[in-house]
Amino acid sequence: MTKIAFIFPGQGSQVVGMGQEFVLNEPACKEFYDQADQLLAIELSKLMLEGPQEELTLTYHAQPALLTTGVMIADKLKRAGIEPDFTAGHSLGEYAALVASSVMTFADGVQAVHKRGIFMNEAVPAGEGAMAAVLGLERDVLKQVTDEVSQNGEVVQLANLNCPGQIVISGTARGVEMASEKAKEAGARRVISLVVSGPFHSELMRPAASKLQQMLSEIQMQDAVIPVIANVNAQPVTASSVISNLLVEQLYSPVLWEDSVRTLLAEGVDVFIECGPGKVLSGLVKKVDRKVKTYCVYDEATFNQVLEAAKEWA
């Protein structure tokens, strides 16, 4: 029996034209874009479909844009009879997973991530924080490096544990710079500075977390109909009270993506469907287990590929 996970990408996957074919061809898909525009009182759909990319990439635009596209694609898959057994999302993507699992409505979800983007943007002034991807170093070794730098007064920590040999660090600009140098000395193959607007998933995000907690307390959340794998502990969760606390913690805690994929594999998931622009998560899943089936749905052709493959899953 095939077990399916819907997975949702995080910030960085946004691209001008995202979801365009679905929105032009199907009123039920366009409805999500129209609703986002009305709820946020901004022309989000215009940014998503026409750009410019710089505007779309702003944290408080990218987050609702990715959630809108991801949820729209998941809805289209479900209407075609493809139902997930689990959902998971990378950072921001966890909110799309929660909407797909009926924990929160699309309306609440899209407004929540828009505000989350604003809170994150306000937490650390631009230029003061940084993130970098470290390739080819074990997590224990890299943690020793970040702990050492942090003890010397600069905040830096593991932020995204994406797949074997790929870990993102986050913290003050100086802290990330120092840790990057030390990581190379410790044997890292490469260190790549990321173009981001803040030190996400680090202690520096705590000011945003308190605002997020207040905002989430005002949202009516339901228990998950489909278990969601939480970023913070890489475990399946369904209780809405637990989910709310984990979302707050998620802002300043590492995204345990590799562990989340391993949890899904242990639960018997053998098909991963990435709902949203790009193929980033599918690539990370393959680095954890090359044998597993992965699909990315971002246009009519990729959607039809999944429909074709699904004939053999029953």
Q: What is the pLDDT along the chain (314 residues), one digit of tens a residue?
A: 899 999 999 998 999 999 999 999 999 999 999 999 999 999 999 999 999 999 998 889 999 999 999 999 999 999 999 999 999 999 999 999 999 999 999 999 999 999 999 999 899 877 789 999 999 999 999 999 999 999 999 999 999 999 999 999 999 999 999 999 999 999 999 999 987 778 999 999 999 999 999 999 999 999 999 999 999 999 999 999 999 999 999 999 999 999 999 999 999 999 999 999 989 999 999 999 999 999 999 999 999 999 999 999 86
Tell me which residue has tokens 């307390």: 217
pLDDT score of 264? 98
Pick the catalytic residue from 13, 45, 91, 180. 91
Structure tokens at 157: 């920590």
User: In this structure, are strands 228-229 and 236-237 parallel, antiparallel, or unpaired?
Assistant: antiparallel
For each of the domains in the chain, give its residue range(s) and CATH number, in order of start.
4-123+204-310 (3.40.366.10), 129-196 (3.30.70.250)
Sorted by sequence, the CB contacts under 8 Å of residue 273 that are 6+ apart come out as: 4, 5, 6, 7, 77, 82, 84, 294, 295, 296, 297, 306
In the chain, at which residue ranges do the beta strands (DSSP E only) sit? Answer: 4-8, 86-89, 129-135, 156-163, 166-172, 190-193, 228-229, 236-237, 271-275, 293-297
Residue 271 has phi, psi (to 5 degrees) of: -135, 125
Amino acid 314: pLDDT: 67
Residue 287 corresponds to which tokens in the numbers above? 């680095």
Q: In 26-86, which residue ranges form alpha helices assigned H by DSSP? A: 27-40, 44-50, 53-57, 59-79
Q: Pick left, alpha or beta for residue 50 (phi over 0 → left; psi -120 to 50 → alpha; otherwise beta).
A: alpha
Distance CA(111)–CA(115), nearest Å, equals 6
Distances (CA, A) of 190 to 81, 184, 287, 301: 43, 7, 17, 35
Residue type, 163: C
Number of neighbours of residue 21 by Cβ within 10 angstroms: 15
Question: Which residues have C-beta within 8 Å of that of residue 4, sequence separation ≥ 6?
Answer: 82, 83, 84, 85, 86, 269, 271, 272, 273, 313
Q: Which residues contact 180 (CB under 8 A, 6 or more apart)?
A: 132, 134, 169, 191, 193
**Phi, psi of 7, deg, nearest 5:** -120, 145
pLDDT at 35: 98
Is 91 labeled as catalytic in the residue annotation?
Answer: yes
Extract the runs of DSSP E, i.e. beta strands, from 173-257. Answer: 190-193, 228-229, 236-237
Q: Which of 201, 202, 244, 253 is catalytic?
A: 201
